[in-house]
Amino acid sequence: MYSISLLPYEYKIHNLKAKKKNIGLLLATGIMGVLFLAYTILSVYASGKTAELNGIRAEYAAVEAQIEKMGDIKIFYDEVGVLSKEVTAAAGSNPDWSLLISSIGNSVPESVILRSMKFNYQGSSGECVILGTGKDHGAVSGWLKKLGDTEGIGEINCKFSSLSGNYDSVEFELSFLILQGPGYKIPLEVR
């Protein structure tokens, strides 16, 4: 069967244009709805971020006020800095005594006994004199070689080394220069 339309051709075109117009209006309305929804979502998001920004600005103002109140702390901090520089200058370039003395003590073998250690350090130089007893000359010279590797001491001079009265040990006296050290280090808690 054939479809026969008795309407004039102009009416058909007019109806087709009306349908296209209605579809176009429907699409435009849908697009406008989507855009309005996007605008609403962005407005809510922006107002949330604006409130967050205002909160951060209020926090910043509170912190600034606290910093202004803490002006005295800055004065004390600066004073501590000045005093620490004075302490460092007053201490000079002393060696690290605990490290130096423990290094000397740790270098002593069982065959050598130290009877006394005298330190004299003034300004930027010093000397250490050690009196001791060793099993024999070999033990003392072996210790002197090991002592020479100790950090913080200069050239070692053996003032005397002789057999004791009963000839079963060697008595010795030696001296060496104490080298400059890093000076006094302020503990980190103070800074």
Q: pLDDT tens-digit profile of 166-191? A: 778 899 999 999 888 776 666 656 54
* Domain end among 50, 65, 91: 91
Distance in angstroms (rounded) separating the CA atoms of residues 18 and 25: 10
Domain boundary among 63, 91, 119: 91
For residue 137, what are the domain limits?
93-178
Task: Answer whether 178's CB lies under 8 Å from 126's CB.
Answer: yes
State how many domains the chain has. Answer: 2
Distance CA 123, CA 181 (A): 11
Residues 77, 115, single domain; the answer is: no
Q: Please, what sign has the CA dihedral across residues 150, 152, 157, 163?
A: negative
66-70, 145-149, 162-166, 185-189: segment of lowest average pLDDT: 185-189
Instruction: Give a yes or no: residue 150 inside a domain.
Output: yes
Q: Which of 9-13, 81-85, 176-180, 183-187 has the lowest mean pLDDT?
A: 183-187
Burial class (CB in 10 A: 0-12, 13-18, 19+), 143: buried
Q: Are residues 15 and 84 in the same domain?
A: yes
Whole-angstrom distance, CA of residue 123 vs CA of residue 2: 123
> Which residue did the predictor score with more confidence, 113 or 166?
113
> Which is nearest to 118 in space by CA: 126, 110, 109?
126
* In a shared domain, residues 97 and 174: yes
Determine the Cα–Cα distance for residues 153 and 116; give it in Å rounded to an integer.
Answer: 17
Task: Show which of 91, 113, 134 is a domain's final residue.
Answer: 91
Looking at the chain, list the stretches that DSSP marks H as alpha helix, in order from N- to C-terminal side: 9-69, 71-91, 97-107, 137-148
The verdict on 99 and 83 lying in the same domain is no
